[in-house]
A = this chain, B = another copy of it.
Amino acid sequence: MHRLQAKRIRFRPKKHRSPDGLPTDICLFTILSVPRPTKTRSLPHKQLAVLLIERKSDTYGQQWALPGGFSKESETLDECAYRELKEETNIDRNVHIEQLKTYYKPGRDPRGWIPSVAYVSLVHEDLLKHARAADDASDARLFPIEEAFALDLAFDHREILTDALQRVREKMLQTNIAKAFLPDEFTLSELLQVIETVVPSFKVSDRGNFERRLLATTRRQGILEAVVDADGKPVYSTEYSNSPAKLYRFTDYTPTAMIY
């Protein structure tokens, strides 16, 4: 067996250029609650929102862009994303973060050879409230996604945002990331609302059937379980309705969604 040694390069010859930086950019999604003025207690209206910052550079005039920043040699990409998150929102870890994809094509950044490692982060609204309070002079703002897409975003951030949204929608149906937008204990309506807010096409005709599908049966484990008190009685909440609503939580069991 002969080897083609010439092909493997040990050290990069000096004549080669290398990237001018490797930033991470973050698509931070949250769900905003807007209380509705109804006659009796009701569920707030919810909308999916994304965090954008206003760029005030010469390069990309007054455009909105995904928050992000250059990674350092001494940190991992995850650490960089967390650092940016902290700088921008004052959120310190303990939030869902995942790497989406790395973007590069010639000319994507007028400043040079700068690929971008995109991240997706899902954050509960409450965490951001605290964060924003702490730094209201920020150049960051939450946009409902339709509004965000109506903007002329900097760089290829529209493409990144599109991919990120698709990723979140897929995972919303195939995993239990709905957790990221819910308290530990929640009502069925809240869960339904979260799913429908993220995936508008998701419609459930019958709440009763939906409930049964998620609870354990004889030959199936359950995704949800009812919250019970010391006596084993179900716990109810009247936060969003006069009629007490059963509280549920996610079980340890996460089914592997499969098509076969």
Contacts and interface: CB of A to CB of B under 8 A. Distances in A.
A19 interface: yes
A102 B104 contact: no
Contacts of A173: 256-260
A212 to B, nearest CB: 12
Contacts of A195: 260
Question: Could you say which interface size class chain A belongs to?
Answer: 35 or more
6 cross-chain pairs, A with B, having the tightest CB-CB distances, nearest first? A257-B257, A173-B258, A3-B139, A11-B112, A2-B137, A73-B113
A19 to B, nearest CB: 5
A18 B19 contact: yes
A115 B77 contact: yes
A74 B3 CA distance: 19
12 contacts: A1-B139, A3-B56, A4-B137, A4-B138, A4-B139, A8-B55, A10-B58, A19-B21, A170-B256, A173-B258, A174-B174, A254-B259
B213 A70 contact: no
A117 interface: yes
Given A102-B99, A173-B258, A213-B260, A22 B76 contact: no
A71 interface: yes
A257 B17 contact: no
A87 interface: yes
Interface string A53-70: 111111100000000011
A219 interface: no
